[in-house]
């Protein structure tokens, strides 16, 4: 999704701004642009497509500047095009970059048009440049203009702005869209993602909603929503030491799939002791709070929601707690009734997903016992705004398609379920059984990754089709959904998932030689019923690719039967996810898609 980087420096900033844009490419974008202050003019370059095209323009034009703003855009209002790319400008004087959505843009635009401003793009963002210009024209400073603009703007935004009359400083503002400052040796920076500036500094200042900051090469000032100058804490993070290169892998997604044994080890590290879960792993006082929980509400999006669906089953079976689960984008709009002693759980890799954050903020106004988040990014808004957090410690996930983030979320959610069960004095023997199984999980994942050669054999048959059906039952239905999501997002093959028992209620009509069926058949009390469902597919000439426990008896002639490694039933969803990730990756590779940055998608979805 959109990315902002801005810098005021004692040296040329063009190159470092473009390098910052490269670092944010993983977020997904369709165009890129830069505005560089050159004392008497502002160089303004924009390109539709990859950041590399913008970089090529910079190499040929060689603009020199010590103050600039740059952006990668992910279209919301207006098609991907050069004219809609940021920075946007007003009268060659004011240049802005914006992340987020201005909800009242139509009425603001109409008023600005009446005042004589001409719009050249279809975006909601351009009006910010004109609005700032209208206040600067009245003699306001950029800081004052930003506060006046904030009074008018409704919605979410992170903004960085420069104007022709000031080549010393730039101004940024944040409201419900991530923005932070970085204190470098030769410059002060601002960015929407710490990864963009992690090569230049380890010192970050996370702005809060309502903040406006003025940045020059040597110093910065932050003002809060009431325009009062404030000090915000400096956080030290060594981002450059966090692995953000592909190493010998072709794609980040591939690397992230094979990193899973280590990632899971990191999720478990320091959280299990002896044969039980340790107390307070979600923060001081969390075990005490968990003892009071009578009901759970989960909200999340996409892959994180699938992890939540598995956890809902675990919560019922292991912690004996009822659980309601909602798409974060829907939760606020169904007038949720909150029972006494309900605990809110949010799940998010990035911790910046706008829908999940909005759901958390809404829920905080309700009568929940507290909010607990499972998150991968310690500096994220979700982590900072939740009462209790467990970091999955998966390391940066760059591929848009979630892989290690999902399996570590599942491991983290299992730790949550075990913590709740322990606080409620429930099922000690089962807890010990699961803890023992968790300790061997990285080894079992390694065994599962070794199935790659067998999966490679299946990939061409799936890659040549336009549709696929994924089947699972019970706790494996969300895994089938995750498999279908993975295949569709990176290979662009249409894929759907069903609980296998539902097949005969409609989807069976789709079965023919062009509809591969990928099924998950672990050892379980309903394994035989699942096999009967799969026989229904066989009987209609369908092609079956079954990932199954060796004990499952099934004769697959048309397709393949792949035996899976053994592990404790409750952890099998984690294991059965792995071959589906490898399959999607190999299919996408055969189809030649942009695996790490699939079309139309963004890694961190910061708009509602």
| Residues tagged active-site | 2, 603
411 near ligand AGP (CB under 6 A): no
Stretch (H or E) spanning 129: helix 126-137
- Taking the least distance from each CB to ligand AGP, the nearer of 99 and 353 is 353
End-to-end CA distance of the chain: 12
| Shortest spacing between CB 9 and ligand AGP, in angstroms | 31
Among 257, 520, 605, 607, binds ligand AGP (CB under 6 A): 605
Burial of residue 361, with CB atoms counted within 10 A of its CB: 0-12 exposed, 13-18 middle, 19 or more buried: middle
Residues 262-291 that bind ligand AGP (CB under 6 A): none
Does position 577 interact with ligand AGP (CB under 6 A)? The reply is no
Least gap, CB of 519 to ligand AGP (angstroms): 21
Question: How many whole angstroms separate alpha carbon 358 and alpha carbon 301?
Answer: 12
| Interface region with ligand AGP, contact rule CB under 6 A, candidates 149-157, 315-323, 345-353, 445-453 | 345-353
Secondary structure (3-state) at 173: strand
Find out whether 459 and 586 touch, Cβ atoms under 8 Å. yes
The answer to whether the beta carbons of residues 76 and 604 sit under 8 Å apart is: no
DSSP string covering 478-543, please? HHHHHHHHHHHHHH--EEEEEEGGGGGGTGGGG-STT--EEEEE-SSTTHHHHHHHHHHHHHTT--
**Phi and psi of 127, rounded to 5°?**
-60, -25
C-beta separation of 395 from 266 below 8 A: yes
* Gap between the Cα atoms of 329 and 261, Å rounded: 32
Cis peptide before 278 (omega within 30 of 0): no
Q: Which stretch binds ligand AGP (CB under 6 A): 251-259, 301-309, 332-340, 572-580?
A: 301-309
For ligand AGP, which is the closer residue by CB, 127 or 312? 312
CB of 306 to ligand AGP, least distance (A): 8
Considering only 489, 549, 586, 596, the residue that binds ligand AGP (CB under 6 A) is 489
Asked if 606 is part of the footprint of ligand AGP (rule: CB under 6 A), the reply reads: no
Question: Mask of contacts with ligand AGP, 304-323, x by CB under 6 A?
Answer: x-------------------
Considering only the stretches 84-92, 196-204, 296-304, 310-318, report the one whose residues sit in contact with ligand AGP under the rule CB under 6 A. Answer: 296-304
Please work out the total of residues on this chain that contact ligand AGP, with binding judged by CB under 6 A. 15
Q: How far is the CB of 132 from ligand AGP (least distance, A)?
A: 31
- Is 353 among the residues that bind ligand AGP (CB under 6 A)? yes
Q: How many CB atoms lie within 10 A of CB 515?
A: 18
Rounded to 10 deg, the angle between the 142-152 and 126-137 helix axes is 120
Burial class (CB in 10 A: 0-12, 13-18, 19+), 523: middle
Q: Are strands 187-191 and 170-175 parallel, antiparallel or unpaired?
A: unpaired
Residue 389, classed as helix, strand or coil, is strand
Stretch of 110-118, 318-326, 346-354, 468-476 lying at the interface with ligand AGP (CB under 6 A): 346-354
Q: How far is the CB of 205 from ligand AGP (least distance, A)?
A: 23
Among 6, 197, 301, 318, binds ligand AGP (CB under 6 A): 301
DSSP class of 144 = H
399 versus 522: smaller Cβ distance to ligand AGP: 399
- Contact region with ligand AGP (CB under 6 A), list: 95-103, 145-153, 349-357, 544-552: 349-357
Distance set, CA 308 to CA 262, 269, 348, 454, 582 (Å): 22, 21, 10, 30, 22
CA 124 to CA 529: how far, in whole Å? Answer: 53
How far apart are the C-alpha atoms of 67 and 519, rounded to whole Å? Answer: 56
Query: Which of 266, 349, 491, 581: binder of ligand AGP (CB under 6 A)?
Result: 349
Distance of closest approach, residue 349 Cβ to ligand AGP, in angstroms:
4
- Out of 348, 423, 581, 597, point to the residue binding ligand AGP (CB under 6 A): 348
Question: Which CB atom, from 9 or from 348, has the smaller least distance to ligand AGP?
Answer: 348
Asked if residue 400 binds ligand AGP (CB under 6 A), the reply is yes
- Pair 601, 593: CB distance under 8 Å: no
Regarding 354 and contact with ligand AGP (CB under 6 A), the answer is no
Contact call for residue 516 and ligand AGP (CB under 6 A): no
Q: How far is the CB of 73 from ligand AGP (least distance, A)?
A: 18
Residue 303 binds ligand AGP, judged by CB under 6 A: yes
Residue 87 or 412: the one with the smaller Cβ distance to ligand AGP is 412
Count of H-run helices and E-run strands, the chain: 19, 27
Taking the least distance from each CB to ligand AGP, the nearer of 90 and 356 is: 356
β-bridge mates for residue 203, sequence order: 236
* Residue 597 in contact with ligand AGP, rule: CB under 6 A: no
Ranked by CB distance to ligand AGP, the top (closest) residue is 302
Quote the least distance from Cβ 28 to ligand AGP, whole Å.
9
Q: Report the C-alpha gap between 103 and 154 in whole angstroms.
A: 6
Q: Is 356 in the site for ligand AGP (CB under 6 A)?
A: yes
For ligand AGP, the binding residue among 401, 417, 487, 571 (CB under 6 A) is 401
- The distance of closest approach from Cβ of residue 595 to ligand AGP in the complex, given in angstroms and rounded to an integer, is 12
Nearer to ligand AGP, 327 or 561 (CB): 327
Q: Please answer whether residues 33 and 47 qualify as being in contact, where contact means their C-beta atoms are separated by less than 8 angstroms.
A: yes
Residues that bind ligand AGP (CB under 6 A): 301-304, 348-350, 353, 356, 400-402, 489, 604-605
């Amino acid at each position: 999704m959109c990315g902002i980087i801005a810098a005021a420096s004692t040296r040329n900033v063009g190159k470092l701004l473009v390098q910052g844009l490269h670092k944010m490419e993983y977020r997904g974008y369709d165009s890129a642009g830069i505005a560089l202050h050159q004392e008497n003019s502002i160089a303004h370059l924009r390109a539709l497509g990859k950041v590399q095209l913008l970089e090529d323009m910079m190499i040929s034009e060689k603009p020199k500047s010590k103050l600039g703003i740059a952006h990668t855009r992910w279209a919301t209002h207006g098609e991907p095009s050069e004219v809609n790319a940021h920075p946007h400008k007003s009268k060659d004087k004011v240049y802005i970059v914006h992340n987020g959505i201005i909800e009242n843009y139509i009425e603001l635009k109409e008023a600005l048009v009446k005042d004589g401003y001409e719009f050249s793009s279809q975006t909601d963002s351009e009006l910010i440049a004109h609005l700032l210009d209208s206040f600067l024209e009245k003699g306001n400073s950029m800081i004052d203009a930003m506060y006046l603009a904030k009074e008018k703007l409704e919605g979410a935004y992170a903004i960085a702005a420069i104007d022709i009359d000031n080549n010393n400083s730039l101004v940024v503002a944040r409201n419900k869209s991530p923005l932070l400052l970085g204190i470098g040796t030769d410059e002060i920076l601002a960015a929407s993602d710490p990864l963009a500036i992690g090569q230049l500094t380890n010192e970050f200042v996370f702005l809060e909603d309502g903040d406006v900051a003025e940045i020059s090469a040597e110093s910065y000032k932050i003002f809060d929503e009431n325009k009062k100058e404030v000090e915000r804490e400096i956080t030290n993070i060594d981002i450059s030491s966090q692995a953000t290169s592909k190493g010998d892998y072709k794609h980040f997604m591939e690397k992230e799939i094979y990193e899973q044994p280590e990632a899971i080890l990191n999720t478990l590290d320091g959280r299990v002791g002896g044969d039980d879960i340790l107390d307070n792993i979600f923060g001081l006082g969390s075990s005490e709070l968990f003892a009071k929980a009578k009901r759970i509400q989960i909200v999340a999006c996409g892959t994180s929601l699938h992890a939540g669906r598995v956890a809902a089953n675990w919560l019922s079976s292991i912690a004996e707690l009822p659980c309601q689960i909602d798409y974060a984008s829907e939760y606020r709009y169904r007038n949720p009734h909150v029972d006494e002693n309900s605990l809110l759980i949010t799940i998010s890799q990035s911790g910046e997903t706008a829908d999940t954050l909005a759901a958390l903020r809404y829920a905080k106004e309700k009568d929940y016992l507290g909010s607990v988040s499972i998150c991968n990014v310690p500096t994220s808004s979700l982590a900072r705004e939740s009462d209790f957090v467990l970091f999955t410690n998966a390391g940066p996930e760059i591929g848009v398609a979630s892989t290690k983030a999902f399996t570590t979320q599942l491991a983290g959610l299992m730790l949550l379920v075990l913590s709740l069960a322990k606080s409620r004095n429930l099922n000690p023997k089962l807890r010990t059984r699961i803890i023992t199984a968790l300790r061997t999980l990285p080894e079992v994942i390694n065994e599962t990754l070794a199935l790659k050669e067998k999966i490679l054999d299946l990939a061409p048959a799936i890659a040549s089709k336009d549709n696929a059906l994924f089947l699972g039952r019970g706790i494996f239905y969300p895994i089938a959904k995750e498999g279908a999501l993975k295949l569709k997002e990176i290979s662009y093959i249409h894929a759907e998932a069903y609980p296998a028992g539902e097949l005969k209620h409609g989807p069976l009509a789709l079965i023919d030689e062009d509809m591969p069926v990928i099924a998950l058949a672990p050892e379980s009390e309903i394994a035989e019923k699942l096999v009967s469902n799969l026989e229904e597919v066989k009987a209609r000439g369908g092609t079956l690719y079954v990932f199954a426990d060796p004990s499952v008896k099934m004769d697959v002639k048309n397709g393949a039967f792949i035996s899976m490694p053994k592990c404790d039933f409750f952890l099998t969803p984690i294991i059965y996810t792995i071959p589906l990730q490898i399959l999607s990756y190999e299919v996408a590779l055969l189809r030649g898609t942009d695996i790490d940055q699939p079309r139309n998608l963004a890694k961190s979805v910061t708009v509602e």
